[in-house]
Structure 1
């Protein structure tokens, strides 16, 4: 679903996305209540599983569909936190931090930057109030990584990263995402420390548990390919095309059909490298091909941002080349 179609749904409340939220929220409230009586499980335990489910489907579910379910769950979780019955308030606030973070990513994928910013703030506040450090690191990690896609200023992302940056980070996915986001932010700021951060990230990646390294599709996983993506991003921004090509080669070996969005972004890094090296036509033509070959359901804002970076790398005196014009037209149409 393309962004303009989603916006039409959002405007048409009577038949669209938001109209379904109250019904879904009511149905989920009934289900959780019934199963709670049967199993006597704490509400926080239910939400831990719900967050894991949303994180596992983030890459594979169209963002409009994912957002509908997230908003419905948010409505239920709000009631659970407000009613004050459950003793595990901290667990519910932790769940709210994760849920709001995944929701922010869904808004970002649709190009709704203002909504994404607001949901990130909710995620940060909830995680901080929960007192759960793992949630605090995870929320900041993804907020930093998501920064370029929602227009967050790099200095603001840098400040977010440093709030929970440990001298000896734990070998888990959140710490890896945080270091990856930090390296990308440093590169965007022109800070040579980005290379040192990448080195730390590579060392930490080698220490993550096998089940985390094997998790390719969840927001709680950290497979090798995400390290290679971070390396590709940083070296491309730093105009170190040899190192960027090496990271891209390895990433493209590892990407499968289940991650077409991130594969497309790495291909767009390569297009940008070609432009940096002076092959302006080759770089912009390849970028157009990436956009044209990508299924519309995954042709999301982060892909557009990566393609826009290819166009931005073109020197001013080459902006009228046919291939450059074609790329600009593709981007304007999305």
Structure 2
């Protein structure tokens, strides 16, 4: 997982890709293509996480092209990563679902990192589209696939190739929050409890997003003042350097769900919160 500031990660990856391009043989074997596709994917992901969407889209295109020469498993991985990031940029939901379909077609639905990630992206996208039933079905399928993953993936809480239970619980918290599911509160608490104290920077960012889910539910239920205050405290504890596009998206959702009949009464707090996030009004 990303444990260094994103500008540093982006700079390091850019240098590494340039070096790789220089040393790769002209007749590129599959192994070279895999390494190249992985590095391009990680650079695209880091750029998108830092809010550099135009550059990110360029590198996603390159990663997809190189992945095609590296095998179906790499095609699935690139498509699933792009689908997840695209939800936070945000990109058109039909495009997200197309990337999900590409990932699942390439993985053939086999239990792997890409399949699990793609199903999470499908659940998230369908929730945003208002398809609650489809969203919950995707969550259930993700849980089924998760149970079939090898321990080398589910026990890995450190590397980008792992899919520990924290990710599963985080996705359920997110989707239930967006869909205003009756069990959203329990899903949020289950997800928060899964992040151990003394966690990595990545885990801290993930945990902060779930706390923002809590704030979103509070605001939606009409407890606007406390919900906004909870979100502000969460962001302050996290620190500016760790407010990625993922965190910012979760934070913007908090203010987006302010009930219309509560907006006038809480307008000063809403404006202050939006200014803190540098969000345009009405976003």
TM-score when scaled to structure 2?
0.90
Q: 2: CA distance between counterparts of 1:88 and 1:118?
A: 22
User: Does 1:73 find its partner at 2:40?
Assistant: no
- SS in structure 2 opposite 1:231? helix
Paired residues in the alignment total 272
The correspondence for 2:231, drawn from 275, 283, 287, is 287
Shift of 1:179: 1.0
- SS in structure 2 opposite 1:149? coil
User: Does 1:300 find its partner at 2:255?
Assistant: no
Written as runs of structure 1 = structure 2, the 5 A alignment for 1:185-334 is 185-191=125-131, 192-240=133-181, 242-256=182-196, 257-258=199-200, 259-320=203-264, 321=266, 322-332=268-278
Which residue is equivalent to 1:171? 111
Q: 2: CA distance between counterparts of 1:61 and 1:249?
A: 27
- SS in structure 1 opposite 2:189? helix
2:222–2:262 Cα contact (<8 Å) kept: no
CA displacement, residues 283-330 of structure 1 (integer Å, 9 cap, x when unaligned): 111111111111222122211111111111113443351432331121
- SS in structure 2 opposite 1:152? coil
Any runs of at least 4 consecutive aligned residues in structure 1 with deviations exceeding 4 A, and if so which? none
CA displacement, residues 113-147 of structure 1 (integer Å, 9 cap, x when unaligned): 111111111111111132x1111111111111111
- SS in structure 1 opposite 2:88? helix
1:186–1:194 Cα contact (<8 Å) kept: yes
TM-score when scaled to structure 1?
0.77
Q: 2: CA distance between counterparts of 1:306 and 1:332?
A: 14
2:119–2:138 Cα contact (<8 Å) kept: yes
Which runs of 5 or more structure 2 residues have no equivalent in the other structure?
none
Answer with 135-144 or 186-195: which moved more: 186-195
CA displacement, residues 172-219 of structure 1 (integer Å, 9 cap, x when unaligned): 222111111111111111222110110011111111111211111222
Which residue is equivalent to 2:83? 144
Q: 2: CA distance between counterparts of 1:218 and 1:190?
A: 33
Which residue is equivalent to 1:61? 4
In our comparison, the structure showing a higher alpha carbon Rg is 1
- SS in structure 1 opposite 2:79? helix
- SS in structure 2 opposite 1:129? coil
User: Does 1:135 find its partner at 2:78?
Assistant: no
User: Does 1:153 find its partner at 2:92?
Assistant: yes
CA displacement, residues 52-87 of structure 1 (integer Å, 9 cap, x when unaligned): xxxxxx321111111111001110222234x41xx5
- Could you say what the CA RMSD is over the residues aligned between the two structures, in angstroms? 1.9
- SS in structure 1 opposite 2:15? helix
Which runs of 5 or more structure 1 residues have no equivalent in the other structure?
1-57
User: Does 1:95 find its partner at 2:35?
Assistant: yes
Q: 2: CA distance between counterparts of 1:189 and 1:96?
A: 34
Change in CA separation of 1:310 and 1:78 when aligned onto 2, cut-off 3 Å:
same
Shift of 1:168: 5.8
